Structure 1
Amino acid sequence: MNRSVSWTKYVALALALVMVLSGCGAASGGKTSGTAAASQGGGQAGTAEGGNLTFALATSPDTLDPHRSGLAVAVRAIRTIYDNLVVQLPDGSIKPWLAKEWSVSGDGKSYTFKLREDVKFHDGTPFNAEAVKYNLDRVIDPATKAANALALIRPYSSSEVIDEYTIKVNLAVPSQAFLGNLSQALLGIVSPTAAKKYGDQLGKNPVGTGPFTFVKWDENADIVVAKNKDYSWGPDTVENKGAPYIDTITFKIVPEEATRIGSVQSKQVLAAETVPPQNIAALKSDANQQLLQANTVGLPYTLFFNLRKAPWDDVKVRQALQSAVDVESIVKTLYLGNYERAWSALSPGILGYDKALEGSITPDINRANQLLDEQGWVKGADGIRAKDGKKLTLKYVDGSPNREKRNDIAAIIQQQLKPLGIAVEVVITKDVATVIYQNWDYDLYGNSQVNSDPNALYAFYHTSAEGERPTLSGLSDPKIDQLLEQGAVEKDTAKRVEIYSQIQKYLIEQAVILPIYVFPYTVAASKDVQGITFDSLGYPLFNDVRIQQ
């Protein structure tokens, strides 16, 4: 039996946690189990157990049902309520959590997990093999309407309860990403009792086995969770394996970034996420504040062309836009050197990232004009190009509120494309699910995903993924489908790297996407708060938090 499974040094997630101490301007980085050493507060003088951590979120979660959530912000709260079968460390290794050990069949298509026998859900329901089977089956049940969890669980097909605390999980095909995916918060284990009781409303009444229990959620105001006093099975990403030191966490929804960060400075909250780049310097010089930062891995913020619609099904038209958009200028202007520019469909630090693509795209307005001229798009008296009586317009859709200045990116691109003769219509919507995933009513739309394995590309670019949730690009290419299928099952690391390199090169050369930036997850916090740490994907953990009294 295996007590842990190592994913090889190449999958090192490069969490690169940085703790910037205010007043000194120095940064110290590390990969110590997803924590920043300077932020650990266990046993420090002046700190005590108890208290309420107020933590401001940039947007409101969509749901607290992990299987139905599609938003990264929801994971901040979801991670406090639910646990997973396994945990992934920053070095890529997989360690026990709710599963204490496991074995893998020779063909890689079956995993047998032995589970902890001392765990209960918050509602008293026993955690056992039946509960795990219920969860896995729930994700693939169409009635659940699973979101990102459905892509993560692929290629799960069935499971068998061997005994009360042993379960055999069967896959349709081998998957190198499956075990790591089981560690992600969106495959957290929910109470079967609660899921059956609340149905579609589980997201408003979440019940898990996690270190905190759900108290309340006032829509667009706050979410409150309280210490699970019986907790004693924390993962290896935290030092405190038992009940949290603090009594409660209040997640306050504060979309306006100046208000959110100002609330930390005015002590209305103790911590706030997603620090605006223009506030970072002030935080570093504030003797009462600290900045916590974790580089996320997975898919960087990327703009997807909708290849289902003309003229964006024409590679030369897409390449023209690729040449006209000055990504470097956008990133420097908006993020002031605090965000890295993205060059690929994958972010640095993830297995298979192709560093050779760095520097491969440079602004070239002459090339952009030439490509459009060749395709018969001619500028009219109003400066807008047209062909066959149809003007060249681009519908750029983005969500609300202005997360990470993404609305500002749209505005800049609108101006950059004007001299090229493209009229950009910027549409800001609160109903992304309908506009994007149901109606496909866009020409360009941006998204990102935190993930630990390059197999994440499958859900974004494989033709069959359309049957689960429409892919943002609408790409359908047999060659890419084949490569994605090979990458999912290939056991040889070097061969996997080569497979994903081919995919990344294709996506850039064919201008299927415009990568924009790599997102660093940042938290501004009072120095009264010690012990906020991060998991291997850059999500905050609160098991070790203490508040100076």
Structure 2
Amino acid sequence: MKKNNHNDYLVKSVFVFTAATFVLTGCASGSNSLGNAQAEPNEQEKGGDLTYALASIPSNLDPARSGWAVETRVYKQIFEGLVTKLPDNTIVPELATDWSISDDGKTYTFKLRDDVTFHDGTPFNAEAVQYSFDRILDPDTQAGNAYSRLQPYESSTIIDDHTIELHLSTPSVPFLDNLTQANLTIVSPTAAEEYGDQFGQHPVGTGPFEFISLQENADIKLKRYEDYDWGSEKYENKGPAYLDSLTFNIITEESTRIGSLQSSQVLAAEAIPPQNIETFELDESLELLSQNIEGLPYTLFINPDHEPWGELEARQALQYGIDVDHIVNTLYFGTYDRAWSAITPGLLGYDESLEGAIEPDVEKAKQLLENIGWETGADGIRVRDGERLTLKYVDITPNREKRNDIAIMIQQQLKELGIEVEIELTKDVATTIHTNGDYDLYGNSQVNGDPNALIQFYHSPSEGARDTLSKLNDPKVDEWLQAAVTEKDEEKRADLYKNVQQYIHDEAIILPIYVPNYTVGTQKSVHDISFDYLGYPQFNDAYVQP
């Protein structure tokens, strides 16, 4: 048995705390916190009610079933995992106190805290851990990202109330890192059984805030969990949150959200639009935080099952015909970085050689299409064998991070190539994309701290499983991705992921667009909101004081 005394056995990546926090007027950026303009109050003076505006709509606060980052921002305050990760990439205990890993890499043994209770009074113990993970594997749960991140877990053995063995079907280097992610946090077995598939509307965890209510499309109310006193190293405050309450107001309309912050109807708001950044910098009543989000960048996936996108030349024509720099600079005013690869720069194995590898070249794009028989028709749209060259671009509503605007700009750019782009905006992505596969181009991103995230998008699906977004099915890519799961040599593991990125680029599987950036604006009365290693906000140290 290989012993891990908290962090001897770490998943060491080259995670970089990129686009580190920038704050206005005298805030200490090194602490990633807001508003230190006046003398630090003592703990008894800290408190308040924080209202925080969300830019999109959370609908399910069940970690096992949730699929959206906006939901994670809420339920991360309610739930905790066995381990967590610091911005310097160190994995440290959260609900566990220690862990060890067997020599064959297939058994993880966790010692658990014995002083933790769920918000409903249920004791935290090995049974709760076993229940949470087995629930993710249960088909009735309909787990999504959680199911993928829990792999290759297959069962567990309870040694005693506060010791549990997790058994994997195959060795997995990324498994410990995956356990730091919000989808794999521990739920109250009592509440999960009571509420069943409605648990996402009645979440119960062990975190610093407990759930009060959810009004659909309106707000989500949390309050301080008074008995909380087991905060991990990611918090300076290890005890109960300073805030009395934390309310997430759902304000999807951009101008309304910004206006609500400027008028103090809410005290904090996410997704500050790029065009408002300069105004915020000049407004002495406001503070600003910003950080890049690691994982898979916002990426347009090309559907090779639809003609002609199964042909390399057609996909390459999109690579050369779409001016990504122009799109990113126009829409985001330099606040978002251009993406060049299938993963973000902060992840292990990011391939810097891909930066600048493709420059826009409209004439080359046109020639590629002509080479495979697409000739310009009378109305400027290309035709082959009597068929017009059309591309169905599907995107989700509302217009998160101006992604609908990206679709419009690409529609305009591809018209110059003779490609007719039909844009479909939908709220039912599950049916349109995953069930029907009714798209030629569709955008997606994922928050993740390990390049193993590539498996979910680029590995061949197992028999009976649904297609990945890339629809890639190549034994070479599968071999690289599988080898990286068990490779303990960090340099060799990085090289395997570079092989995957090069293949994806050379075969024009995707169009990387931008690295997501999470930006929060607050009134100056708000202090010490921080970010975790993936860019999610944390509130246990936060307080409100004019």
**TM (normalized to structure 2)?**
0.96
Question: Structure 1 residue aligned with 2:32, among 31, 36, 56?
Answer: 36
The 2-side partners of 1:156 and 1:8 are apart by: 17
Any idea what the Cα deviations from partners look like across 1:327-355, whole Å, max 9, x if unmatched? Answer: 00000000001110000001011111111
Q: Hey, what does 1:14 align to over in structure 2? A: 17
Equivalent of 1:396 in 368, 393, 396 = 393
Q: Distance in 1 between matches of 2:186 and 2:316?
A: 44
More displaced 10-residue stretch of structure 1: 36-45 or 477-486: 36-45
2:297 is matched with which residue: 300, 314, 318? 300
Match of 2:502 among 495, 501, 505: 505
Q: In structure 2, what is the Cα distance between the partners aligned to 1:76 and 1:137? A: 24
Residues 305 and 281 (structure 1), Cα distance of their counterparts in 2 relative to 1, 3 Å cut: same
**Counterpart-to-counterpart distance in 1, 2:153 and 2:209:** 29
2:113 maps to: 116
The yes-or-no answer on 1:2 pairing with 2:4 is: yes
**Aligned equivalents of 1:213 and 1:305: distance in 2?**
42
2:536 is aligned with what amino acid?
Answer: Y
* Matched residue type, 2:181: Q
Q: What's 1:520 paired with? A: 517
SS of equivalent residue, structure 1 residue 61: coil
Does the Cα contact within 8 Å between 2:66 and 2:183 map onto a contact in 1? yes
Report the alpha carbon displacement of residue 62 of structure 1 after superposing the two structures with TM.
Answer: 2.9
Q: Which of residues 147, 155, 158 is equivalent to 1:158?
A: 155
| Partner residue in 1 for 2:470 | 473
Give the drift of 1:60: 0.7
Per-residue deviation at 1:133?
Answer: 0.5
Q: CA deviation at 1:42?
A: 11
Q: Which amino acid aligns with 1:493?
A: E
After superposition, the Cα gap between the structure-2 partners of 1:353 and 1:83, relative to the gap in structure 1 and judged at 3 Å, is: same
What percent identity do the matched residue pairs reach? 56
Q: Counterpart of 2:425 in 1: which secondary structure?
A: strand
CA distance in 2 between partners of 1:394 and 1:252 (Å): 37
1:280 maps to amino acid: I
The answer to whether the Cα contact below 8 Å between 2:11 and 2:173 also exists between their aligned partners in 1 is no
Query: 1:3 is matched by which residue type in structure 2?
Result: N
Contact map agreement 1:81 1:206 (CA 8 A) in 2: yes
Partner of 1:407: 404
The whole-number CA distance in structure 2 between the counterparts of 1:283 and 1:520 is 16
**Residues of 1 paired with 2:39 and 2:192: CA distance?**
38
Q: Deviations over 1:63-91 (max 9, x none)?
A: 00011011000011111110110011112
For the 8 Å contact 1:458–1:465, the answer to whether it is kept is no
For 1:85-96, list aligned pairs within 5 A.
85-96=82-93
Q: Deviations over 1:412-470 (max 9, x none)?
A: 00000001110000111011111111111111000001100000000011112685553
Q: Which residue of 1 aligns with 2:448?
A: 451
Q: Kindly indicate whether the alpha-carbon contact (under 8 Å) linking 2:527 and 2:544 is maintained by their aligned counterparts in 1.
A: yes
SS in structure 2 opposite 1:18?
coil
What is aligned with 1:213?
Answer: 210
* In structure 1, C-alpha distance between the alignment counterparts of 2:119 and 2:413, rounded to whole Å: 53
Distance 1:128 1:99 in 2: 10
Distance 1:405 1:9, change over 3 A: same
Compared CA separation, residues 40 and 158, structure 1 to 2 (3 A): farther
Matches of residues 160-175 of structure 1 in structure 2 within 5 Å? 160-175=157-172
Matches within 5 A, 1:99-498: 99-464=96-461, 467-498=464-495
Contact 1:9-1:91 at 8 Å conserved across structures: no
Supply the distance in 2 between the matched residues of 1:40 and 1:190 (Cα, whole angstroms): 35
8 Å contact from structure 1 (residues 283, 291) kept in 2: yes
Distance in 2, Cα, partners of 1:334 & 1:198: 43
| Amino acid of the structure 1 residue aligned with 2:334 | G
- 1:98 positional shift: 0.2
Amino acid at match of 2:417: L
Q: CA deviation digits over 1:161-199, x for unaligned, max 9?
A: 111110000111111111111111111111111111111
Compared CA separation, residues 411 and 154, structure 1 to 2 (3 A): same
Distance 1:29 1:475 in 2: 42
Query: Distance in 2 between the 1:72 and 1:40 partners?
Result: 28
Give the drift of 1:39.
4.9
1:50 CA displacement: 3.0
SS for the counterpart of 1:287 is coil
Whichever residue aligns with residue 218 of structure 1, its letter is Q
Change (3 A) 1:160 1:43: farther
RMSD: 1.7
Q: Which amino acid aligns with 1:316?
A: E
Change (3 A) 1:381 1:466: farther
CA 1:40–1:465 in 2, change beyond 3 Å: closer, same or farther? farther
Secondary structure at 1:60 match in 2: coil
User: Is there any run of 5+ residues in structure 2 with no aligned partner, and where?
Assistant: none
Render the CA deviation track for 1:297-349: whole Å, top value 9, x for unaligned.
11010000112222111111000111000000000000001110000001011
Instruction: Give the whole-Å Cα distance in 2 for the aligned partners of 1:458 and 1:69.
Output: 19
Choose 3-12 or 469-478, whichever is displaced more.
3-12
Distance in 2 between residues matched to 1:159 and 1:456, nearest whole Å: 24
1:41/1:544 contact within 8 Å kept: no
Mark the runs of 5 or more structure 1 residues left unpaired by the alignment: none
**1:15 & 1:541 partners in 2: Cα distance?**
18
TM-score, normalisation: structure 1: 0.96
Correspondence 1:545 to 2:542 = yes
Check the 8 A contact 1:39/1:533 in 2, yes or no. Answer: no
Is 1:4–1:93's contact at 8 Å kept on the other side of the alignment? no
